[in-house]
Structure 1
Amino acid sequence: MSYLTGEFECKLDAKGRMMIPAGLKKQLPEAESEGLVINRGLEKYLVIYTKTEWDKKLDELSKLNEYDRKAIQFVRYFTGGATHLQPDASGRVNLPKNLLDYAGISGDVVLTCLLNKVEVWDKKAHQEMINNEPENFADLAEEVMANKGRGRNE
């Protein structure tokens, strides 16, 4: 899978269904055949993965020590609530109510592509997150990117 790009505004209908925007749908050709997986994010948002990317996450998690309480707690939290999404003929997906409640999503949604996943934010919460951008983004960039050669690809 190539990296996903873009930010998309959507609306949920009364049944919790969301139309996958055409610009995002083009980037997810496997979604129609394999489906997608949605789950809680690390903060108050949801995350959508392709089935392939979700399976990669599960492979990572399966390597954790099953006797380490923190590892099990993390796996339990990270995988709990994960739900398979299958786009319907109109390109809509039905977002589970329990996950919508967790993220405080009720109507207007912002989909933000983040490398290999899509974050699903309540529009107001997304705007608050954007408004809380670090005062000096250049300092944050230097701190995070200065060690880019010593990251996860070693």
Structure 2
Amino acid sequence: MVSHLIGEFDCKLDAKGRLMVPSGLKKQLPLAETEGLVVHRGFEKHLTIYTKAEWDKITRQLALLNSFEKKTREFIRYFTRGATVLTLDASGRVLLPKSLLEYAGINTEVVLSCQFDKIEVWDKATYDTTLDDEPLNFANLAEEVMGNKGGKVDGE
């Protein structure tokens, strides 16, 4: 059974752009200290962090795409743009690249939002504003996205 990352963590960056990985999250990332993490631009104005193993799975999928197609090349370029290996220092901090922080509009206060196999890194104000736009009827959205999928989840 696959274990997914869980939690939402409010954090602050230090003056150098370093993020202290919260202990509750660090426990879920046992190989982060030895293998590292990878951060890149998210699809919206946020950053996404993967374990190195998960990033390798994604890049293997990308390598199977037809690079003779223009849309494929563009997607790969934008998806991997700014991708950076993060190494935890002795204090459990990672240095987020300035160019990625600027892209996501991240200043000091951030939210780490775990999404299954990845961690989204949001500017706190942007994250709060985004989630304030919750649909009036969340149940309808749930039905539209998850309804009529038929069958059970793997492992059930």
Match of 1:17 in 2: 18
Residue 66 in structure 1 maps to residue 77 in structure 2:
no
* 3-state SS of 1:4 partner: coil
Letter in 2 for 1:137: F
Distance 2:102 2:35 in 1: 26
Match of 1:84 in 2: 85
Match of 1:126 in 2: 127
Distance 1:70 1:149, change over 3 A: farther
- Gapped runs of 5+ residues in structure 1? none
Alpha-carbon RMSD across the aligned residues, in angstroms, is 1.3
Post-superposition Cα deviations, 1:120-141, rounded to whole Å, max 9, x if no partner, equal 0000000011101111110000
Aligned length: 151
Deviation of residue 63 (structure 1)? 1.1
Letter in 1 for 2:44: E
* 3-state SS of 1:84 partner: strand
Match of 1:107 in 2: 108
Distance 1:130 1:148 in 2: 25
- Gapped runs of 5+ residues in structure 2? none
| Structure 1 runs (4+) greater than 4 angstroms displaced | none
Normalising by structure 2, what TM-score? 0.94
Deviation of residue 49 (structure 1)? 0.2
Letter in 2 for 1:34: E
Post-superposition Cα deviations, 1:93-120, rounded to whole Å, max 9, x if no partner, equal 0000000000000100000000100000
Distance 2:100 2:60 in 1: 23
Distance 2:115 2:34 in 1: 22
Deviation of residue 147 (structure 1)? 4.3
Distance 1:129 1:4 in 2: 21
Deviation of residue 148 (structure 1)? 3.1
Distance 2:33 2:18 in 1: 16
Normalising by structure 1, what TM-score? 0.95
Distance 1:106 1:3 in 2: 28
Letter in 2 for 1:22: S
